[in-house]
Structure 1
Amino acid sequence: MADFMFVLKNFLVVSLAMNMCLIWKISYDDEETLASKWSSWGNLQQKLHFHGSCFNGEKNNGRLEDAHVSKRTQILPTTSSGAATVVPDGGESVVINLDHGDPTMYENFWKQKGEETTVITSGWQHISYFSDIKNVCWFLEPELVSAVTRLHKVVGNAKTDGRHVVVGTGSSQLYQAALFALSPPNASDPMNVVSAAPFYSSYPLMTDYLKSGLHKWAGDAYKFNKQNPYIELVTSPNNPDGSTRQDVVKGHKGILIHDLAYYWPQYTPILSPADYDIMLFTVSKSTGHAGTRIGWALVKDREVAKKMTTFIEINTIGVSKDSQIRAAKILQAVSDSCDGDESFFDYSYKLMEKRWKKIREAVDKTELFSLPDFPPEICSFSGRSFGQLPAFAWLKCEGDVDDCEGFLRRHKILSRGGKHFGASTKYVRISMLCRDSEFELFTKRLPAIIS
């Protein structure tokens, strides 16, 4: 019996030691990968980009290694209010994550608005699935229709007369709904979907993710065979390079979808109201409220609008009314501000102008990088003459640097490489929409890079 107790005690000691080692390892690994978790795909857009690497035949572990940083490296810390804390070493150890377009730069403006944009919802409100059963989009809140219509008329960036408004959970869902509506259900082959490179990095995955057989990603519009039926995505201003776009293929069997998420006067001169068959917009880039997850489509054809509505009905049985009401309140506040001393768009324009001036000054201090130039044009909304101020900087590594994304990563700057946009790896997309503290660190670090 004594021998048995001796063996049991030794077993318990060894077991305890093994468990303590396991706990220590987990704790160490968690510390080591904390920055990786923060710098990898924290939202849907980032996840799409990550899985897109898999879809394009690239290895997952390469992307994980891209996002990985040492346990001794810090992601820029923030307080619960979103304000950055002070970094003891001046920021040298901080990883600056400019990969995704999280529009946190708008926080300060909306903090100033306080109760003006606060929405209070009682428990009995918004219980029903239905909003307006007479509308093609039966789950669309009338308040949102009114706010959308008014804002487009105030800014002058899109025609709304004779259009059906379809609401979606962000413009990503509306994009998928449009593909569903425009793809023939009984075709022998999937409908080809193209966009001119560099194209938005999530387009390929969103097009092919479900492998429905209705449509398929066919790549760069510049390389497409015009004889086949196709849907062309025209993003203007373009994500990632900020250029103004028109359709490229111009074939007689083509259908166009215009993604106008950035056609607002803080990013680009408004030249005339957009007048296309299908136009996609979103609050995430127009006002900065990405978390509200509301986008809208302006659709000419009633049948197309009905099919888009059917897709959303099957997909999510409508769109959150609470989010719609909040979005409506915000859009109304934006329109109201245009009658005041400083509108939301004036504030945002000045901020974007300041940031673009800083990043150009930083790039001019080094021969390692370059940025595209944009000719000035007169904005019909503001009367200003200015060149594009894109939400993303399409940064090029000059000289012998072929992998710009990897090069910047070694200097603790996370970006999204050109290969994800169908472009050269010498390019990266840099978000211009981050908080001030992140942008300040970036513009200080960039000219300090030697090799």
Structure 2
Amino acid sequence: MKKEQNHKLLLSFLYSILLNALLSLYVIYHSLSKPGWGIEAMAEAEAAAAIACSWHGHAFVDSVVVNGRPKCECNNCYAGEDCSILMRDCSADAVSGDPQYLEPYWRQNAGRSAVVLSGWHRMSYQNNAPNYISMELERHIRLLHRAVGNAVTDDRFIIFGSGSTQLLNAVIKAFSSPLDHNSPVGVVATAPYYEVFREQTKLFNSREYQWKGIPSNMSSSTNSTQLLSENLIEIVTSPNNPDGNLQRRSKFLLGSSMAAIHDHAYYWPQYSPIPAPADEDVMLFSNAKFTGHASSRFGWAIIKDEKVYQKVVTYMDLSTVGVSSDTQLRVLKLIKTILLQIREEGDFFKFGYETMKERWQRLSKVVSSSNRFSLQKLSPHYCSYFNEFKDPSPAYAWLRCEKDEDEDCEAVLRNAGILSRGGTMFEAHSRYARLSLIKTLDDFEQLLQKLQTLIFSTDSYSSL
């Protein structure tokens, strides 16, 4: 009797194991093996993209849902449910460097550039590569620089960051290690410079480094021998933000042993001629200015020295545990799309260059119609990517107010309904203002219209 009971218990146990195994196989088959699991996600994305918003706005999958569909998010100066209402008293916004001018290219390449993520895509902190980076993305970044010819990557280390701004502080931190210096390292940049360099350095208020300002100001208050002996880090932006000029290290610091960080966010053929590959110790690149996907928050640093690289890796590990795997996958897809058509029909860089060149030429024509304003002087230069001389195509206009009474150019523009960044933000004279040329077509057309009105009203008043 006891043996019979044991036999029944054993059969029940084996039956339970078999049933669980069958159920597991059923779940796996229906969740993983069944094709077409991404159809619903693709349909949702295409439905949102199909909402035109009168071509003056966007609807996204994650937009606020109204009456069962994503709500339109309107461009500046447009309103209404479908963004069809133009607000006449609205100011043209030329403040931010939001590179939305590239959206038409990505609409033309919607299928190639789309990404569908499974719900279980890279859930772990770790992947199969060191330092939280996608090895395939790193490989494609090297292929990209080699194809474009704008940076040397051989025998260099590459590290990813949540935008190049995060990497900037990581590199400053690496260069200012307390093991190497007895006093705070000074961070400097030649004016006009991107104000985030100053503001971010001051924000962290580190005991290891501090903002020292402009090299020329330092040279006037410090003798040359003392200046060259100081521990300094120079940030060099080339092409420069805001004026688009190709920059070199400050002449006031030549001969010093100080470190340098080269910000090459705009060193791409759509913004600047590429005379030769950049070959510096530390080079920063921003995906925002490269592909236009600012919201993805992705950048990378190319570093020559392994010790500096390892310090940056430690910073990234402790601050954010690397960069989002979802972001890395999206950037990989974008770069693959660009490489597929490089120097072919549908070339990304040709599209970007032609767009920026046209905007610069149209703006220059408006500004040159009056002597009230002037623009930075840029001339054609040879570009190795296009293998020919190319006209200027800067990301920003560095506008100068020429009238004696127009001391504050930002205020002059603001009073005329144009929002800009004043020159003092870049530690330049208040007679200057930066106008962004890389926003939407709506933004650019509004800028031109307001500027034409301002110039026309000035000329009309002068002729009275």
TM-score by length of 2: 0.77
1:159 and 2:152 correspond: yes
Shift of 1:131: 2.9
Q: Quick one: which of 235, 238, 261 aligns to 1:236?
A: 238
Where structure 1 has 5 or more consecutive residues not aligned to the other structure, the ranges are 1-73
> Alpha-carbon deviation of 1:143?
2.0
Give the structure with higher Rg (CA): 2
Q: Distance in 1 between matches of 2:137 and 2:76?
A: 37
Per-residue CA deviations over 1:258-278 (Å, capped at 9, x if unaligned) read 000000001111111111110
1:319 aligns with 2:315: no
> Offset at 1:447?
2.4
Match of residue 333 from structure 1: 337
Q: How far off is 1:321 after superposition?
A: 0.6
Q: Which residue of 1 aligns with 2:438?
A: 433
* Kept after mapping to 1: 8 A contact 2:357/2:392: no
Q: Which residue of 2 aligns with 1:423?
A: 428
Cα offset for 1:251? 3.8
Distance 1:270 1:252 in 2: 27
**Which of residues 271, 275, 292 is equivalent to 1:271?**
275
2:418 equivalent to 1:413: yes
Aligned residue in 1 for 2:170: 177
Distance change (3 Å), C-alpha of 1:145 and 1:76 = same
User: Structure 1 residues 254, 208: closer, same or farther in 2, change over 3 A?
Assistant: same
Matches of 1:394 and 1:87, distance apart in 2:
28
Q: How many Å apart are 1:227 and its aligned residue? A: 2.9
Residue type of the partner of 2:432? Y
Partners of 2:122 and 2:255 in 1: CA distance:
45
- In structure 2, give the amino acid aligned to 1:113: N
CA positional deviation for 1:434: 1.1
How far 1:296 sits from its partner (Å)?
A: 0.4
Equivalent residue in structure 2 for 1:112, among 86, 108, 113? 108
**1:161-310 alignment runs, 5 A limit:** 161-186=154-179, 187-224=181-218, 225-248=227-250, 249-310=253-314
Percent same amino acid at aligned positions?
36
**Aligned equivalents of 2:296 and 2:308: distance in 1?**
25
Q: 1:339 to 1:170 in 2, by over 3 A?
A: same
Within 2, Cα distance between the matches of 1:149 and 1:283? 14
User: Displacement of 1:222 after TM fit?
Assistant: 2.3
Distance 2:95 2:217 in 1: 27
Alignment of 1:349-388 (within 5 A): 349-388=353-392
Deviation at 1:445, TM superposition (A): 1.8
| Counterpart check, 1:448 vs 2:442 | no
Cα drift, residue 79 of structure 1: 7.8
Counterpart code for 2:422 = G
Give deviations 1:219-241, integer Å, cap 9, x for gaps.
11222333311000110000011
Report the Cα offset of residue 80 of structure 1. Answer: 8.7
Q: In 2, are the aligned partners of 1:265 and 1:379 still within 8 Å (CA)?
A: yes
In the TM superposition, residue 75 of structure 1 has moved relative to its aligned partner by 4.6
Contact 1:227 1:251 in 2 (8 A): no
Contact persistence 1:168–1:296 (CA under 8 A): yes
Q: Which amino acid aligns with 1:169?
A: S
Preserved contact between residue 79 and residue 85 of structure 2 (Cα < 8 Å): no
Superposed CA offset, 1:29-78 (max 9, x none): xxxxxxxxxxxxxxxxxxxxxxxxxxxxxxxxxxxxxxxxxxxxx95126
Q: Secondary structure at the match of 2:229?
A: coil
Partner Cα distance (1:221, 1:106) in 2? 36
Letter in 1 for 2:110: G
- Measured against aligned partners, the alpha-carbon deviations of 1:328-349 in whole angstroms (never above 9, x if no partner) come to 1101111112153130000111
Q: Does 1:147 align with 2:136?
A: no
Cα contact 1:197–1:421 (8 A) shared by 2: yes
Q: 1:143·1:325 contact (CA, 8 Å) conserved in 2? A: no
**Structure 1 residues 173-203: Cα deviation after superposition (integer angstroms, max 9, x where no partner):** 0001101111022433211000100011111
Q: Aligned letter for 2:312?
A: M
Corresponding position of 1:62: none
Matched position secondary structure for 1:94: coil
Distance 1:389 1:222, change over 3 A: farther
1:169 and 1:388 mapped to 2: Cα distance? 30
3-state SS, counterpart of residue 318 of structure 1: coil
Q: 1:75 to 1:113 in 2, by over 3 A?
A: closer
TM-score (norm 1): 0.79
Aligned length: 370
The amino acid that maps onto 2:90 is V
**Most deviating of 180-189 and 210-219:** 180-189
Q: Within 1, Cα distance between the matches of 2:85 and 2:274?
A: 39
1:271 match: secondary structure: coil
CA RMSD of aligned residues (A): 1.7
Within a 5 Å distance, the mapping from 1:121-132 to structure 2 comes to 121-132=117-128
Could you say which residue in structure 1 is the equivalent of 2:86? 87
Aligned AA for 1:244?
Answer: L
SS in structure 1 at match of 2:201 = helix
Structure 1 residues 431, 127: CA separation in 2 closer, same or farther (over 3 Å shift)?
same
1:343 and 2:339 matched: no
Instruction: Please give the alpha-carbon distance, in whole angstroms, between the structure 2 residues aligned to 1:295 and 1:358.
Output: 31
Q: Matched residue of 2:86: which SS? A: coil
Contact 2:101 2:439 in 1 (8 A): yes
Counterpart AA for 2:197: Y
CA distance, structure 2, for counterparts of residue 251 and residue 317 of structure 1: 38
Runs of 5+ consecutive residues of structure 2 not aligned to the other structure: 1-74, 219-226, 459-464
* 1:117-140 C-alpha deviation (Å, 9 max, x unpaired): 11111122211212345x4xx111
Moved more, 413-422 or 380-389: 380-389
3-state DSSP of counterpart to 1:312: helix
